[in-house]
Amino acid sequence: DAEITQSPRHKITETGRQVTLACHQTWNHNNMFWYRQDLGHGLRLIHYSYGVQDTNKGEVSDGYSVSRSNTEDLPLTLESAASSQTSVYFCASSESPGFGYTFGSGTRLTVV
């Protein structure tokens, strides 16, 4: 069965370190998205991609970057982790937004 997987599920890192969160989907979806979820803020869009070599900034992109070298993967990199980036991160993919997004199970990141 097709799926979307995120790794790791939990990570603790130190302030200032570079961190990469992985997202891999086997749906062959062109559209992929990264969100962070914080209490009181719901889901906030970080970056998104409509296809290979395409990346776009979302509403909270500062301090984050993504790259899309193939259809399956959209890794999210925190260039220099800050305590404000402690959050739960969700990756999602979509064939068409009308069909909704398929979400991964999330990565809980703690920056100490």
Partner 1 sequence: GQQLNQSPQSMFIQEGEDVSMNCTSSSIFNTWLWYKQDPGEGPVLLIALYKAGELTSNGRLTAQFGITRKDSFLNISASIPSDVGIYFCAGIPLVSRGGSNYKLTFGKGTLLTVNP
- Contacts with partner 1 by CB under 8 A lie at 31, 33, 40-43, 45, 48, 50, 59, 90, 92, 94, 96-106
**Residue whose CB is less far from partner 1, 18 or 105:** 105
Cα–Cα distance for residue pair 69/39, rounded to 1 Å: 32
Among residues 53 and 80, whose Cβ is nearest to partner 1? 53
The least distance separating partner 1 from the CB of residue 16, rounded to whole angstroms, comes to 28
Task: Considering the complex, state which of residue 78 and residue 104 has its C-beta at the smaller distance from partner 1.
Answer: 104
